[in-house]
Amino acid sequence: MLTKQSIIKDSVGLRVEVLKLDLSSLKSVRAFVDEFLALDLPLNMLINNAGVMFCPYQLSEDKIELQFATNHLGHFHLTNLLLDKMKRTAKETGIEGRIVNLASIAHRYTYNKGIRFDKLNDNSGYSDKKAYGQSKLANILHANELSRRLQEERANITVNSVHPGVIMTNLMRHSTHLMRLLKVFSFFIWKNVPQGAATTCFVALHPSLEGVTGKYFFDCNETHPSALAQNGELAKELWDFSNKLVKAAELS
C-alpha cells in the first residue's frame, strides 16, 4: 500500500489497483487472475518479476521445490491464464502487447542438464545456488517457447527475457553477509534499484523494440544467453513439464 500511495502522489489523476498475489502458490495465482479479469481492464504489458533466491531446501504448498515454484512455475501459470486477455487487448487496440521475464546471469550456473526434470523435488544433490540458476534458466526457456508459439499464431505480443544486473535488494536476504563481502571486491558491477530497473523498462516500453521477440537483454542491449538457454527442445520439454505440474496441482 505504501508503493500505491507513492505512485499516486507522484502521478496526479492516476488510478492504481493493488491485488494480492503469491507466486509460490498456484491457487493464489488463479485467485489473482480471477480478481483481475473481473475488473475488465485492458492488459498491454506483463512483467514477471517476483522471485526468491538461494533458499534452503523447501517445498511450496503445491509440493514443488520453492525456487522453481516461485520463480518459474507461478509466472508460467500466471502468463498462461492472462494470455487470452492480452491477445484480445492487442487485437482491439492495435497496440503490441509485451511480456518480459526477469531472468539472471545466474542461469549459467545450474545443474548439468539444465533442469532436473526427474529430480526436481529431490533433496539429495540440492544446491540452493544451482536451484536458483535452474529457475532463472527456466525463465529464459519459458520466454523463448512462448515467443515461438505466439509467432506461429501471429499474435501481436512479444516475449523477451532480461538480466537486470546485480542489485542489493531483499532478494539477497538468504545470503546477505556473503553478498556484502562480495560487494567490497566487486563494487563496480553493482547497481542501484533505478539502474537495475532500466533494462526491464527499456524492453517493456521502448519503440525501437517493436516486433522484437524471443531475445535476451542486459544493460539495454541484446546479448546471448547460455547454450542451454537457446536449446529449443529443452524449452519445449520444460513447457510440457510445467503444464503437467500445474494440472497435477490443480487436481490435488
Q: What's the pLDDT score for residue 171?
A: 53
pLDDT at position 12 is 73
| SS3 of residue 221 by DSSP | strand
Strand partners, 218: 163, 221
Paired strand residues for 166: 190
Cell of 214: 524471443
Integer Cα distance of 28 and 20 in angstroms: 8
pLDDT at 186: 47
β-pairing verdict for 157-163 and 216-218: parallel
The pLDDT assigned to 167 comes to 54
> Which of 198, 232, 234, 242 shows the shortest CA–CA distance to 102?
198
pLDDT at position 4: 80
How far is 237 from 115, CA to CA, in rounded Å?
10
Closest by CA position to 80, among listed 224, 245, 251, 252 = 245
Buried b (16+ CB within 10 A) or exposed e, 10-44: eeeeeeeeeeebbbbbbebbeebbeebeeeeeebe
Which domains can be identified in the chain, with CATH numbers?
Answer: 43-251 (3.40.50.720)
Catalytic center residues:
126
Q: Which runs of consecutive H residues, i.e. helices, occur in 154-220?
A: 176-185, 193-205
Q: DSSP letters of 34-102?
A: HHHHHTT----EEEE-----SPPS-B-TTSSBHHHIIIIIHHHHHHHHHHHHHHHHHHHH-PPEEEEEE
Model pTM score: 0.89
Q: For each of the chain's 252 residues, which pLDDT tens digit applies?
A: 677 887 777 777 788 889 999 999 999 999 999 999 999 999 999 999 988 999 999 999 999 999 999 999 999 999 999 999 999 999 999 999 999 999 999 999 999 999 999 999 999 999 999 999 999 999 999 999 999 999 999 999 999 999 986 555 555 554 555 555 554 444 445 557 667 688 999 999 999 999 999 999 999 999 999 999 999 999 999 999 999 999 999 887
